[in-house]
Structures are given as C-alpha cells and as structure tokens.
Amino acid sequence: MRLSDLQTPALLVAAADLEHNLATMASALPGERLRPHVKAHKCTELARRQLQHGHHRFTCATIREVEGMAAAGLGEDLMLANEVVDATRLGKVVAAGARVTLAVDSATTVEAAVTGGVREVVIDVNVGLPRCGIDPSEAGKLADLARRKGLEVRGVMGYEGHVVGLEEASTRAQMVKPCMELLLRAHSDVGGELISAGGTGTYALNTWANEIQAGSYALMDTAYSKLGLPFRPALSVLATVISVSSGWAVADCGLKALGMDHGNPTVPGGSVWFCSDEHITFASDTDVKVGDRVRVLPAHVDPTVAYHETLHVVEGDEVVEVWPVDLRGW
C-alpha cells in the first residue's frame, strides 16, 4: 500500500522517527526508569515496540487501556494513574493474572480498590497541578488506611503537569524541584518502592522520581517540539487538498481529526488560518492544486490519536505496517 491509496484524513507514523524516539528515550531512561504512558498512542503494537526497548512497566489512563494491554500480553506491571470509583473491571484483569496498581487519593477510592479486587495501590499526591491528588500532609494517613484495608501500598505518584509544557528549560527545572519536594515529603510518610512522576517535558530534569511516566515522546507533537527535546515529530495526519482559492487552500482534515486544545496544527511549508469540523484552511508557500496531499502536524498527539482507528506506519511513500488504535474508548 502507498500513501496515495489511503482515504484521508489518515494517521501516519514515520517509522524511522519513531525508532529514533524510542531508542533515544531508552538510552536516557533505561528499563524501569521509564514507565511509558500508553494514553499518548493508545496502541498495543506501539507498546510492544517500547517493550522491545526494555520497558516492561506501563502507565494507563483508563480502565479500557488496562484491559487492552493485559489482553495483548502486556500486563506484567500496569499502573492506572487515575482514580476510579468502580474497580470491578480492574479486579477481573487482576484475577486473570495481570499486575495492576491503582492510583488513590481518598478513602472512597481506597474502598473502590478493595471492593473491586485490586490488591495494589499508589497514593496520588497533589504536587501543584489542580487536578487529582491528596494533600502531601495527608498522604501517610491514606496509606495507613489502605494497608489496614489489606492493600499493598507501592509508593506515591505525582504529576507536575503544569510544568511539563513550559518552553524555557531553566523555568521547567526551577519549577520541578518544589513539586518533587512535596512528593518526597509524602513518600517519607507513605513508604514503598515507587516514586512515580514526570512526563516528556521533564523526563531529563526530574531526577527525584525513580520512574518517569512519559508518553508523548514516542510520536511527539508541535507543542512539545517547541521545547528543544531530542525527539522527532513522528506523527502526522495525511490530508487531501479539496479546494483552492486565491491566497488559500482547504484540505479535508479538521477538528474531528485533530487534537486542538494546544492550538492550531502546523502544515509544513504553509500557514494555518483555522480549522473547522472537516476542513483545515491554510496559505501555502508553494502552489498547490486540488488533489494534492499534505501532512498536518498536530499540536497535541494524545487526543489526535484517539480520534482515529488506525496508525499507518510509513517509510517514504510506502505504508509498511498498519496498527489498530485498539485502546480507544473507556
């Protein structure tokens, strides 16, 4: 199959760039130093490539991701880095032989783990991002409660998500430190072998955590590309030019094919004006005509992938593999 055979919009992964990214991260954070986050790509075949690079532990964001990873034989050590109030489906995955660790930040989510049949948890700690996570001063008490309920507490996790995307590396480094001081303070009360944190933007700066939950590094997007990281943009959306006017062109790739929460996508060699449901309107630096194909680089990889059913792995104009995005949904 060639690119010209694909119905657009189609999600493409450049094979050489993906391999570069996986190898670069594996060199920086070998083995258990990295717990790749599959929410970024939602694809068990890509997770297998990460396993081949030495990463046996994985982070998930949804119950569906946990189920899919376990069903694909990738359930050696899965962490659901998210709270749930019904862990019944997770308990079934555990009963089938996978290892699942669940994030908890309240008595209610501890009880959900117990009732659902999950045996291991991490205490999710608020390190500055106003999302999930218990106050660091309360982490030890919650760990004690979990142990009294018969759960194994593996340690703590905390996500400095308000820091990972800051463009200035020195600012990122400066802001990570107090976040991790909070996490380490909580860990001193909680105990356990895991201090889990971080993301693609702080993978090289966060030296406090003993495992990093990076995910976007594998495929990359234009938001992370601004940070000067050693990873290449491997993901793009192939689109077809469907209309040309004086000064602009329109391709068939819009809001329903792109994650837009981090801003407009990029068309190399052009300037994006705006996106609508099924269209991207852009000005091109070169003459384009109806029927031409363009590659659109998303600003946020995670939701972009989740909009699509298939990843097409490409070398030049040839599609060499087709991977289902089999961890979509909830």
Mean pLDDT of 288-316: 98
Residue listed under structure tokens 């800051």 = 166
The per-residue pLDDT for range 28-86, each reduced to its tens digit, is 999 999 999 999 999 999 999 999 999 999 999 999 999 999 999 999 999 999 999 99
**Using CA atoms, how far apart are residues 271 and 165, in angstroms rounded to an integer?**
23
The rounded mean pLDDT for the chain is 98
Q: What per-residue confidence (pLDDT) applies to 119?
A: 98
Mark whether 263 and 130 lie in a shared domain.
Answer: no
> Residue 297: inside a domain, yes or no?
yes
> Residue 95: inside a domain, yes or no?
yes
Mean pLDDT of 258-268: 97
Mark whether 198 and 264 lie in a shared domain.
Answer: no
Mean pLDDT of 134-163: 98
Mark whether 138 and 98 lie in a shared domain.
Answer: yes
Q: What per-residue confidence (pLDDT) applies to 114?
A: 98
Q: Return the axis-axis angle of helices 88-95 and 107-116, rounded to nearest 10°.
A: 40
Instruction: List the strands of the sheet with 100-104, edge to edge.
Output: 58-60, 78-80, 100-104, 120-124, 152-158, 194-197, 211-212
Residue span of the structural domain in which 79 resides: 15-217
> Residue 42: inside a domain, yes or no?
yes
Q: Which two tokens stand for residue 246?
A: 């004086």
> Residue 184: inside a domain, yes or no?
yes
The per-residue pLDDT for range 169-182, each reduced to its tens digit, is 999 999 999 999 99
Q: Which two tokens stand for residue 238?
A: 């192939």
The per-residue pLDDT for range 178-220, each reduced to its tens digit, is 999 999 999 999 999 999 999 999 999 999 999 999 999 999 9
> Residue 207: inside a domain, yes or no?
yes
Mark whether 115 and 192 lie in a shared domain.
Answer: yes
Q: Dihedral angle at the C-alpha atoms of 188, 194, 199, 200, nearest 10 degrees?
A: 130
> Residue 223: inside a domain, yes or no?
no
Q: What per-residue confidence (pLDDT) applies to 162?
A: 97
